[in-house]
Amino acid sequence: MEISKLFVQARSATVQIADGGLYHTKAVYQLFLNGQAAGTADTAVTSLYDLQPETEYVLSVRLGAEEGGQCAFRTARESYTLNVRQFGAVGDGVHDDTAALPGGWARADSGGALSCAAADAEKPCAHRASARRDAAAGN
């Protein structure tokens, strides 16, 4: 099996687990970041979130006690984080905050991130966005 990085940002990374599966992997693998459990993966392309900027990581993919492969990467630098509430989101889990997202995306350049942190930690921002915007790619 081959593990390869596809895309790395300041707070996330996307990797490919090439075990012969097309969309789904042939097994459910355990993921470890720097030796610490980081969840499971059952898709050939998997994203890792909540990473720290400018940090070295080694992703290990295991099936039971068997090491399947590793991939090392360093997350990118992040110069600032914008909160989507600065662009009109309520962040109460009730109001639809979709309209606030483009305003934040437009102001986040390749060095920034857009946070959708809730005003109340129990109620995340509600939105209908189906994809995360990569400001670096200009999407």
| DSSP-derived secondary structure for 36-92 | EEEEEEEESEEEE-SPPTT-EEEEEEEETTEEEEEEEEEPPP--EEEEGGGGT---S
CA-CA-CA-CA torsion sign (53, 11, 58, 32): positive
pLDDT the model gives residue 87: 75
Residue appearing with tokens 């600065």: 86
What are the pLDDT tens digits along the chain (139 aa)?
Answer: 999 999 998 889 999 999 999 999 999 999 999 999 999 999 999 999 999 999 999 999 999 989 999 999 999 887 766 677 777 777 777 878 777 777 766 666 656 666 666 554 444 444 443 334 443 344 3
Q: What is the pTM of this model?
A: 0.62
DSSP classification of residue 125: P
What's the confidence (pLDDT) of residue 134?
A: 40
Place of tokens 């070295």: 56
* Residue 107, pLDDT score: 66
